[in-house]
A and B are shown apart, each in its own frame.
Chain A
Amino acid sequence: MENDVEVALLLWAPLGLVFLSLGLQFRKDRSAQKVGQILGTIGLVIFALSFMTVPSSPSAASSALFVSILPAFLLMMVGLYIALFSGDIPVRKFSAKFRPLGLLMFLLGFALFESMHWNDASLIPSTSWEGESNRFWMIFRPTFLLAMSSFLLAGGYFVTLIGERINHISRILYMTGGFSLMLLLLSIFIDGSTTTADEFHNSVLLAGSDILGFVSGIGLTILVFGLTIWQFERKRPSLERLPPPSQEQLERASEIVQQNIGGGEDE
């Protein structure tokens, strides 16, 4: 009973704070957003420590996973952020010299994440929990690689449809998605440091079930709430008809559109 209270206070309550913080970010009130950020940070730190404070709880394995993947994903995200804001864009924040550094950080982060599966060296964050492979790692890695290959390959296809000027993006998405798929295929044929190829193969197919369930659940929710909103919106009186715009108004609108939109013939 005492342990249950400890787990509730040191693992579940902090997780609740993180969700509360996310909810507060949708409020217009700036001070509420700030309070949310503080609460979210506190919650995240206490949750991240829960694998040490309440190691007896089976859910503490998720906290261990969070801590072990954090360095790899921080490197990847910070790297992409630097590469994005050092590019040839109007809102540039960093010098163009930092762009290769950002891309290198992304690659290093990805390499670190992958080495956690293939190598059990003491310097690399561990994927083990209580002497065996962390059960949440066996959910996270297959889901991440499968989602990455599926979304990037499908995204690459969509990008080619949108415009000719962004074919380069499409190639990058295909390449990264293909690389992710190759890692997935390697993992189902070659044993990792703590898991066999067969175990991983089963995990990938189970991850497929997870993604399908996840997408179907969220899809059904959107459908139900969309229908409810449609029910209310269709009952509303239609807008009053306005007189057609005058020549002067049309010219003014045309000026504003010209000022704000540029582009070639394909756009």
Chain B
Amino acid sequence: MNKRVQPRHMIIAGLIFLLPTILIVLLKGNSTYDTEQGLTRFVNAFLTSYTVASVFLVVNMFQYSKSRREPSAPWISMTYAAILGVLATLLLTSQGGFLMEENGSQRAQILYNVIHFIVTSLAIIIAVSIMILLSFVNLESKDRKQT
């Protein structure tokens, strides 16, 4: 990273990242916001992304174990991920059964969470892809800039 990027720049970037949400709350308030549903959505998004990303990284740990000759690496990472996952689930669900949204059964809720995760990921991936492509599209040639 460039030496000009300092911790305070990271904080400013974080604040700019949150600016749209802050503006929306300031301009219209949060009177229509369903807090309980918001918490449920946060917890479901957290647990689903944690589970999916863990599965993806466990598969990669097998590759790591092969290349670095560490046969126990995938199993240890799996154990850590499982312990932390169970702890996070217990912590987040200890308030009551608030993980259920408008779905009839737990199975329906789990399947809905997977689709919800895919839709959210797709929206974020497309937004980030547009940012990257727009940046490269507008790169100017050094020669042209100097003339």
Kindly list chain A residues whose C-beta atoms are within 8 Å of the C-beta of B133.
77, 80-81, 84
Q: Once bound together, how far apart are the Cα atoms of A143 and B41, in whole Å?
A: 13
Q: Is the CB of B145 within 8 A of A140?
A: no
Q: Once bound together, how far apart are the Cα atoms of A80 and B19, in whole Å?
A: 27
Q: Once bound together, how far apart are the Cα atoms of A263 and B145, in whole Å?
A: 12
B107 CB to nearest chain A CB (Å): 10
Kindly list chain B residues whose C-beta atoms are within 8 Å of the C-beta of A243.
none
Q: Is the CB of B142 within 8 A of A216?
A: no
Q: Once bound together, how far apart are the Cα atoms of A75 and B48, in whole Å?
A: 31
The answer, among A88, A206, A225, for a CB contact under 8 Å with B141, is A88
Q: Once bound together, how far apart are the Cα atoms of A81 and B133, in whole Å?
A: 8
Q: Chain B, interface size: which category?
A: 35 or more
A-B contact count (CB 8 A): 239
Q: Once bound together, how far apart are the Cα atoms of A152 and B57, in whole Å?
A: 28
B86 proximal to A (CB < 8 A): no
Q: Once bound together, how far apart are the Cα atoms of A147 and B17, in whole Å?
A: 9
Q: Once bound together, how far apart are the Cα atoms of A206 and B131, in whole Å?
A: 23
A116 proximal to B (CB < 8 A): no
Q: Once bound together, how far apart are the Cα atoms of A184 and B37, in whole Å?
A: 21
B95 proximal to A (CB < 8 A): no
A-side interface mostly:
helix
Q: Is the CB of A225 within 8 A of B23?
A: no
B93 proximal to A (CB < 8 A): no
Q: Is the CB of B28 within 8 A of A201?
A: yes
B-side interface mostly:
helix
Q: Chain A, interface size: which category?
A: 35 or more
With known contacts A58-B108, A169-B135, A181-B23, A209–B45 Cβ distance under 8 A: yes
B100 proximal to A (CB < 8 A): no
Q: Is the CB of A23 within 8 A of B59?
A: yes
A24 CB to nearest chain B CB (Å): 11
The answer, among B28, B37, B48, B80, for a CB contact under 8 Å with A206, is B37
Given contacts A205-B25, A213-B49, 10 further A-B contacts (CB under 8 A): A80-B134, A88-B141, A149-B20, A165-B142, A184-B20, A198-B32, A204-B24, A209-B41, A210-B120, A224-B81
Give residues of chain A (199-225) contacting chain B, Cβ–Cβ below 8 Å.
201-202, 204-214, 216-218, 220-222, 224-225
Q: What per-residue 1/0 map shows which CB atoms of A171-213 lie under 8 Å from chain B? A: 0110010000100110011000000001001101111111111
A157 proximal to B (CB < 8 A): yes
Q: What per-residue 1/0 map shows which CB atoms of A11-37 lie under 8 Å from chain B? A: 010010000000100100000000000
Kindly list chain A residues whose C-beta atoms are within 8 Å of the C-beta of B112.
58-59
Closest 9 CB pairs of A and B: A213-B45, A217-B49, A147-B127, A217-B50, A221-B53, A143-B123, A213-B46, A144-B123, A80-B133
A111 proximal to B (CB < 8 A): no
Q: Is the CB of B27 within 8 A of A185?
A: yes
B138 proximal to A (CB < 8 A): yes
Kindly list chain B residues whose C-beta atoms are within 8 Å of the C-beta of A161.
2, 4-5, 9
Q: Is the CB of A143 within 8 A of B124?
A: yes
Q: Once bound together, how far apart are the Cα atoms of A84 and B108, in whole Å?
A: 43
Kindly list chain A residues whose C-beta atoms are within 8 Å of the C-beta of B53.
217-218, 221-222
Q: Once bound together, how far apart are the Cα atoms of A221 and B80, in whole Å?
A: 10
Q: Once bound together, how far apart are the Cα atoms of A185 and B25, in whole Å?
A: 10
B95 CB to nearest chain A CB (Å): 16
A166 proximal to B (CB < 8 A): yes
A239 proximal to B (CB < 8 A): no
Q: Is the CB of A225 within 8 A of B18?
A: no
With known contacts A80-B133, A169-B138, A185-B27, A217–B47 Cβ distance under 8 A: yes
Q: Once bound together, how far apart are the Cα atoms of A184 and B27, in whole Å?
A: 12
For B59, B80, B123, which residue has the most chain A Cβ atoms within 10 angstroms?
Answer: B123
